[in-house]
Amino acid sequence: MITFDDVVKVYPGGSTAVDHLSIELPTGKMTVLVGPSGCGKTTSLRMINRMVTPTSGRVLIDGQDVASQDEALLRRGIGYVIQHAGLFPHRTVLDNVATVPMLLGRTRREARKAALELLERVGLSEDFAKRYPAQLSGGQQQRVGVARALAADPPVMLMDEPFSAVDPVVREQLHREFLRLQQDLGKTIAMVTHDIDEAIKLGDMVAVFRQGGHLAQFGTPQQLLEEPADEFVAEFVGRDRGLRSLSFDTAAKVPVRPVAEAADLVLDDAGRPEGWRTVGGTTAATGGVFTVSDTLRLVTDLAISSPAGIAVRVGPDGKADGIVRHHDLVDYLAARREDRAAESRA
């Protein structure tokens, strides 16, 4: 657990970067610090590995004040990933990844062996080991950056805008891979981003900062979307937050009607949906179906986009086993909202 205990950072010019910050980043979870530029998120991150010294207050890792530890040794025990990866241009990919283990006194041979395994883990084949960073694409460099941060198997990782220098397609891919990696590893991660969508997608917990180093809200992504603490958070989280928050719930509780009620639905012999009958007598594509484990957002999308205003549910065998009309869905969402409000009052 990383603890910020009433931390303040005032820069020499007099500007306050971090204003009385007290939060706890849970062990084994990913906490994302998000906010507009100049909100103190990066400063906060860099106080964890003492790249920045707080003006007052303490930062603790598992109850131990970082200020009481040797800087270099502390940092060797914390993985660090930054925007442009910051790879050493004069060392091969393999030796880049082997850096921290070597600093910790392991032999070159051991370090390289471990590095090779890590490269594979982040999706880079052995062919890349002997290359230099300049021979890699941005996405590949970033993977090496992640591998390098993981090399000494640190319990804590800090990531400063690790995915913002790559194009959206690669970023998407890196997100997926990273989430999978984190599922296996369960590191305590603090990540900085200015992209709220990224924060909501990756974070177990999200801390929203506002200008002047104030913490605006700290909570799960769902809390942020459904109960923004104030106008600033609501604005920052975005206009379609209601729709996005539907991504956090499954369709399990959505009430369905019998399939027979959808007169225009065309089924094949096995009872699997084929499409929608149109006025002209042809069949239009189904546009997609959902199962009980899909998100509410998908159900909503289907109900709105299908020609009949109906979302079709299928069972594990692919047979249609229920339909949802869009006005039924609206009723359900309204009821769900009431329940939640009651819950939070209680």
Partner 1 sequence: MIQYLTNNSATVLAALQQHIMLALLPVLIGFAAALPIGYLGVRFPWLYHPLINTCGVLYSIPSLALFLFLPVILGTKVLSPVNIVVALSIYTVALLARTVADGLRSVDTTVTQAATAMGYRRTRLLLDVELPVAMPVILAGLRVATVSNISLVSVGTLIGVGGLGQLFTRGFQLFYMEPILIGIILSVLLAGLADLIIVLIQRAVTPWARFQRGGAA
State the residues that interact with partner 1 by CB under 8 A: 49, 51, 71-78, 80, 82-92, 99-100, 103, 132-135, 145, 148, 158
CB of 199 to partner 1, least distance (A): 22
> With respect to partner 1, which residue has the nearer C-beta, 192 or 311?
192
**Torsion angle of the four alpha carbons 257, 263, 269, 272, in this order, in degrees rounded to the nearest 10:** -50
Among 259, 257, 252, 338, residue whose Cα is nearest residue 295: 252
Q: Among 157, 212, 151, 139, which Cα is nearest to 32's? A: 157
213 torsion bin: left (phi>0), alpha (psi -120 to 50), beta (else): left
- Beta carbon of residue 68, minimum distance to partner 1 (angstroms, whole number): 16
Which C-beta is closer to partner 1: that of 85 or that of 115? 85
Min dist. Cβ of residue 71 to partner 1 (A): 8
98 vs 311, which CB is nearer to partner 1? 98
**Cβ(32)–Cβ(206) under 8 Å?**
yes
Least Å distance, CB 96 to partner 1, is 9
- If you search the block for the tokens 């910050």, which residue do you land on? 21
Of 132 and 332, CB closest to partner 1? 132
- To partner 1, the closest distance from the beta carbon of 146 in angstroms equals 12
Which letter, b or e, does each residue of 41-72 get, where b requires 16 or more Cβ atoms within 10 Å of its Cβ?
Answer: bbbbbbbbbbebebeebebbbeeeebeeeeee
CB-wise, 148 or 210, nearer to partner 1?
148
Residue 97 contacts residue 147 (beta carbons within 8 Å) = yes
Task: Say how far apart CA 288 and CA 40 lie, in whole Å.
Answer: 43
Q: Which is nearer to partner 1, 98 or 323 (CB)?
A: 98
Question: Least distance in Å: CB of 103 to partner 1?
Answer: 6
CB of 20 to partner 1, least distance (A): 25
Q: Tokens 């091969």 map to which residue?
A: 92
- 83 versus 247: smaller Cβ distance to partner 1: 83
Q: What is the distance between the alpha carbons of residues 236 and 199, in angstroms, rounded to a whole number?
A: 12
